[in-house]
Amino acid sequence: MPIVVMFLLIALPVLLSWPLGWYMSRVLSDGWGTRMVKLTGGGVAAKEQEWKQYIVSMLVCNAVMFVAVILMLALQQSLPLNPDGKGVLEASLIFNTAASFVTNTNLQHYSGEVSMSYFSQMFALMWLQFVSAATGISCLAALSRALSGRTLIGNFYRDLLRSVFLILMPLSVMVALLLVLGGVPMTFEGSAVARTLEGATQTIARGPVAAMIAIKQLGTNGGGYFGPNSTHPFENPSFLTNSIELASIPLIAMASVWMFGRITGRMRHASVIFAVMLLMLLLKAGFAQYLESAPTAAFNGLPIAASANLEGKELRFGPGTSAAWVALTTATSNGSVNCMHDSLNPLTGLVPLAGMWLNVVFGGVGVGFINMFIFIIVGVFICGMMVGRTPEYCARKVETHEMKLALLALLVHPLLILVGTAVFASTPWGAATVLNKGAHGFTEILYEFTSAAANNGSGFEGLGDNTVPWNVATGIVMLLGRYLPIVLPLAIAGSLAAKKAVPETTGTLRIDTPLFAFVILGSVLLIGALLFMPVAVLGPVADALTTSIH
């Protein structure tokens, strides 16, 4: 039964993604919201931009948001909406948190209810959850226009405003209302003080939780209002809210594929890509469910009944839904958690790592498809070389310039992960902060850099990561891991758009066939295995072998 429920929860966003993808393409293709854009964006949102101007606007806008949030966090003790008197934050934590939320990562080296005021939660962090997700949607829309042959690919500020006000906000309001009905708090009152049956006094944190949880899931953000994230009963009170949040996690990321198909006019091509992504997601979810059904090795030799691994699980919903959450949250770069990833069986821990290493299984809103675009370009190039023909994609020739950019974009992700892991695993910066020694401790370090580079934000935990080295290093990795994989693909798309369209012939590789689906799938799996198999063996695989021996 759990596996049936898991696949039903995946089927719901699959079905909803089709009409949502149509709506998103209309919002970002037609004149919807023109009056709103004129009122809020003014003349700066009216001018059409080519790809270089679009990238500059995106980077400048995100830099301003980054600085603004640093200032808000640094001054939170003096700002309003602080009924519980939250104090000063440490400087490296401010940098890390601002970098985390502006990049749609939401990696949290703090507990929100302990460290953040209501003002910081809403006007700094939740605001970034909207605009960072909108940045990803906007950049995908721009890439789609370029691949349709347009050299003027829209206007970043206009796309950002439409994405926030016409896509993310309406969906978030609907989901937030459902969560409030399900028991998620939404209040500006301070912490509640209660007296227990034993006569002790207990302080219970609360706040405007429902609003943040809605955009946290829909925007593939993942940052929790509370430290325990979606395991906290105020973030996730019931099976109903658990199902709503699970369905929300991949919804916009799935719809982004259909949006691409409609903007480019290549719906059959989009269907092929969607099918490949869905297959990889189902495989991830199935493996997670199967591997986590084995008992934890911690109980080996103890006189207790064998059962599925319940350690670190959300026991209200069972290990089945926890396995589904593990698969979805790391397939979509969401990063929210409803179980302790550190307590997963060793090979189950490989499932979320693989999702973040590949980073194309729907991925973050907008940027997941942009990451897949790189693998598509590489796959097309390989196929073209195999038959001795200049590769083509969307009726444009893929030549040396595009391949140099594609390979650079492909190598950024593993470089950030592997270099960071090597440095911290071999120095006290990382080795002194792990809870477990050996292969499991190595996996804790590997997971943190993987999560940061993939802009995921989930934690393996068991890691004392709120230190200056961890805050600075992962902050830099998050910034580089966010913007380079956006800038380089947009440069490729802009280069392709400037070329003359070539007619399709019998020798052209069709991009809307089952054969092309195998090309994409093979490219992703083969390249991913070549890049990350060694660290997989050193981490989760070695951990599994060690625990089985003991």
Question: What stretch of H or E contains 98?
Answer: helix 91-102
Least confident range from 269-273, 362-366, 482-486: namely: 362-366
DSSP state of 183: T
Q: What is the mean pLDDT of residues 483-494?
A: 96
Helices 346-358 and 267-292, packing angle to 10 deg: 160
Query: CA-CA distance, 506 to 354, in Å (whole number)?
Result: 37
Backbone angles phi, psi at 392, to 5 degrees: -135, 145
| pTM listed for this prediction | 0.93
Least confident range from 3-12, 62-71, 151-160, 357-366: namely: 3-12
Residues 224, 232: contact at Cβ < 8 Å? yes
Question: What stretch of H or E contains 202?
Answer: strand 201-204
Closest C-alpha to 125, from 248, 222, 206, 58: 222
pLDDT band at 377 (very low <50, low <70, confident <90, very high): very high
Residue 389 has pLDDT above 80, yes or no: no
| 249-296 tens-digit pLDDT | 999 999 999 999 999 999 999 999 999 999 999 999 888 888 888 777
Q: What is the mean pLDDT of residues 503-507?
A: 77
pLDDT band at 305 (very low <50, low <70, confident <90, very high): low
- Rounded (5°) CA angle 173-176-179: 155
Residues 185, 206: contact at Cβ < 8 Å? yes
Query: CA-CA distance, 478 to 494, in Å (whole number)?
Result: 25
Residue 184 has pLDDT above 80, yes or no: yes
Residue 201, pLDDT score: 86
In the numeric block, the tokens 């069972």 are attached to 318
Residue 91 has pLDDT above 80, yes or no: yes
Residue 189 has pLDDT above 90, yes or no: no
Residue 445, pLDDT score: 94
Distance of CA 77 to the CA centre of its chain: 30
Q: Is 401 helix (H, G, I), strand (E, B) or coil?
A: helix
Q: Which two tokens stand for residue 207?
A: 């706040």
Residue 300, pLDDT score: 67
Q: What is the mean pLDDT of residues 317-332?
A: 82
Q: What is the mean pLDDT of residues 475-490?
A: 96
pLDDT band at 1 (very low <50, low <70, confident <90, very high): very low
| 147-178 tens-digit pLDDT | 999 999 999 999 999 999 999 999 999 999 99
Strand 201-204 versus strand 396-397 pairing type: unpaired
More confident residue, 228 or 444: 444
Residues 339, 326: contact at Cβ < 8 Å? yes
Question: What stretch of H or E contains 442?
Answer: helix 438-453
> Which residues, listed in sequence order, are joined to residue 397 by a DSSP beta bridge?
392
Q: What is the mean pLDDT of residues 11-24?
A: 94
pLDDT band at 216 (very low <50, low <70, confident <90, very high): very high
Residue 535, pLDDT score: 94
Residue 509 has pLDDT above 90, yes or no: no
Residue 307 has pLDDT above 70, yes or no: no
Query: CA-CA distance, 38 to 241, in Å (whole number)?
Result: 37
Residue 4 has pLDDT above 80, yes or no: no
Q: What is the mean pLDDT of residues 450-466?
A: 90
Percentage above 90 pLDDT, the chain:
62
Residue 2, pLDDT score: 60
Mean pLDDT for the chain overall: 89
Tell whether the torsion through CA atoms of 128, 132, 133 and 135 is positive or negative: positive
